[in-house]
Every structure is written in structure tokens, then in C-alpha cells.
Amino acid sequence: MAVLRVSALHKYYGSVHAVRGVDLEIPAGEFTVLVGPSGCGKSTLLRTIAGLEDADKGTIEIGGEVVNHLPPRSRDIAMVFQNYALYPYMNVFDNIAFGLRSRKTPKEEIEPKVRRAAQMLAIDHLLDRYPRELSGGQLQRVAIGRAIVRSARLYLFDEPLSNLDAQLRDEMRSEIKRLHQELGKTMIYVTHDQVEAMTMADRIVLLRDGVIEQAGPPLDLFERPASRYVAGFLGSPAMSFVDAKVIAAGDGLALRLGDGATLALPARRSANLGNWVEQPVVLGVRPEHLGRANPGERAGLARHSAIVELLQPTGSRTYATFSLGGTRAVAELQAHDVSAINEKIELSIDMNRVVLIDPATNRVIS
């Protein structure tokens, strides 16, 4: 059953049209990540669902009931904000207990609930401290504790980890994920960080300028992006986009790049590209579609010689930048595949996995 159903939702701030017709259905127990660049309307959508902003058009249903007219506290939603918003003059226990008390939870239920939430978040030793006596990560846990201690139909998180350093963010990411598995609650999590979206989501909803560009399981969006925007947003280092033309080559088709290089397309890819012969396309290549060529390779791999322009070792892998048809592209290589810049290497491109985009519409063709 859908816990949340948003239909044709619009929200304006004066002349700014921040949410432009969003339809969204969130099934019970799902962890949905709303992701997109700064200003695309993530917070506005979340705040409108929570009732902190009024919807200008469209409906919001929670548990089958239209809630447009209900104030936030009657919507049965718990929310965690980016800036924690803890009460400075209350200790951790009271901060976590606040929502329970204000909803008239019986006293004898409050203490075990607060202790259980604090235990799950490993802050049970901090219950007597005040917010000013806590680190950023601890503050964040208190804010999350305050939300999860309540039993709500829907839990909303708006970039809760953005104030934390990289390592703590990693840690908290897995904790929130674990918390979701343990509690089985329906959660919507907002971030502009595509890695966070990929690693945490059951389903990603990718927003662009107030509309949903594509929604689905992370790997679906990653492997089958609907547009250049989705293809370029997910993945790090990002996909490279190279101008090309589809040409007939022997029995099949190939791509001709700006510098004259030709990349043969496998038969499976050629089958639905008949109408594109002599037409321009954009080739989208991820770093992991490019590797060092080996002798006797399987079908579907195109070869390309390249001069390495930049090397970025990460330890286990090395990212090598080079020119592909006049555009910078990045290959994810084994740590010892290349040793120096300006080295000439033979790359193989996995033409079964690259994406082809219509430059006129920016939609993925194949």
C-alpha cells in the first residue's frame, strides 16, 4: 500500500515555480532518496509533504487520506532537518523526549522509548549532556533520535548529514540504513549527493528544476538512464560525453568520432539504430566502461589508443584522463595499468554498456 501519494503537486514562492507538477507514490517500508542539484526543489517538496509549506495545486495523501488542509502536527510525520534544531536548554534525554511529551505520551512509556532510541544510535551515555557539549555527529544522532522515537507513518530527512565530515558521514549513512532495516519504517531522504543516493536508496527519485526526471531502483537509473542529465548526474567520476556520428561499417554500424576514430557497435546495439545512420549522436562512456585492452578480448569491445593526460590513483584503482574524439574522458584502470602521464596505452571500450544519446532532445536512444 502507498503510505504517501503526491499528485500533480505545484508550489510557488512568488514568481519562483519551485515544484512543477510532481507525481510520487511511496510504498510502505520503502527508503526513497530524493536527489538533485542545489535549488531543484527537494526541500520544498519535502516541506510541502510535511505541511510546513502549503501546496498551491495538487494533492498530498498520507495513508489514503488527503492531508492538504492538515497542519504539520496532524499529518503523522516525523522530520529531521539539516540544522538539527535542538533545544539548547534541554539535555539530550529531554530533546529526544520532546515530541513524545508534546503528544501526551504516558510518562512510563517515555523513558524506555528514549533509552531504546538512544541505544540504537549509540548515544545512551550522553543523555544528561546539553547540545553545546556534543560533537556534530552526536548532535545529528540526537536529532535523528528525536524523530525515530515517535511512531509516525512517514519519516522525512532533509540532508541530515551535510554538516558532517566525510568519514562521519559514511558512518552515519550506514547507521541510518541499518536503522531503516531494523525499524522497517517508510522514509524519504533528501540529499544532493549522488553517492549517498546510490548507496542508501531502495528507490531514487531524481529531481530537476522542480520535476521528476527519472525514478527507480539505483542500478536501473545507473545502467539505464533515460536522459543525458540522469546519466551525467549518477556516477563518480562522471560519465564522459563524446560527439559522434553513426556510420555504416561492413555488415554493421559503428560510431565515428570527431578525430576520425571509429568504434564498432555490437550487432545487438546496431539492430535498433538503423534510422540513425549518418546522424549525430552523443556517446556516453563511464570510467568503468573503459579498461586496458588485453589480447584476445571478447566481442563488443572497441579499441582506442590514448595518451594519458592525468592520473588519479585511489589505491585500489587509478583514474586516467585522456582524449576521446576531442573530449576528455576518464578510464578506471587497475592500479598498475599505467605508470606515468604521456604514456600511450591501448584502451578497450565496452560498447555493450555505453549509452547513446540524441543530441537534439538529450534523451537516451539506446
Ligand X SMILES: Nc1ncnc2c1ncn2[C@@H]1O[C@H](COP(=O)(O)OP(=O)(O)OP(=O)(O)O)[C@@H](O)[C@H]1O
Q: Please, what is the minimum distance in Å from the beta carbon of residue 154 to Mg ion?
A: 18
* Residue number with CB closer to Mg ion (35 or 231): 35
What minimum distance in Å lies between the beta carbon of 280 and Mg ion? 37
Nearest-approach distance from CB 32 to ligand X, in angstroms:
15
348 touching ligand X, by CB under 6 A: no
Q: Is residue 227 close enough to count as binding Mg ion by CB under 5 A?
A: no
By a kind-dependent CB cut-off of 5 to 8 A, residue 137 interacts, out of ligand X, Mg ion, none, with: none
Q: How far is the CB of 204 from ligand X (least distance, A)?
A: 15
Q: Which of the ranges 13-21, 133-141, 259-267, 349-357 carries the binding residues for ligand X, by CB under 6 A? A: 13-21
Choice between 192 and 304, CB closer to Mg ion: 192
Reduced 3-state DSSP string for the chain:
CEEEEEEEEEEEECCEEEEEEEEEEEECCCEEEEECCCCCCHHHHHHHHHCCCCCCEEEEEECCEECCCCCHHHCCEEEECCCCCCCCCCCHHHHHHHHHHHCCCCHHHHHHHHHHHHHHCCCHHHCCCCHHHCCHHHHHHHHHHHHHCCCCCEEEEECCCCCCCHHHHHHHHHHHHHHHHHHCCCEEEEECCHHHHHHHCCEEEEEECCEEEEEECHHHHHHCCCEHHHHHHCCCCCCEEEEEEEEEECCEEEEEECCCCEEECCHHHHHHHHHHECCEEEEEECHHHEEECCCCCCCCEEEEEEECCEEEECCCEEEEEEEECCEEEEEEEECCCCCCCCCEEEEEEECCCCEEECCCCCEECC
CB-nearer residue toward Mg ion: 43 or 227: 43
For residue 13, the partner it binds in Mg ion, ligand X, none, with Cβ less than 5 to 8 A by kind, is: ligand X
Q: Is residue 42 a contact point for ligand X (CB under 6 A)?
A: yes
39 binds, among ligand X, Mg ion, none (CB under 5 to 8 A by kind): ligand X
Give the interface size with Mg ion as a residue count (CB under 5 A): 1
Binding to Mg ion (CB under 5 A) within 28-67 occurs at: 43
What does the binding site for ligand X look like in residue numbers (CB under 6 A)? 13, 16, 18, 36, 38-44, 192
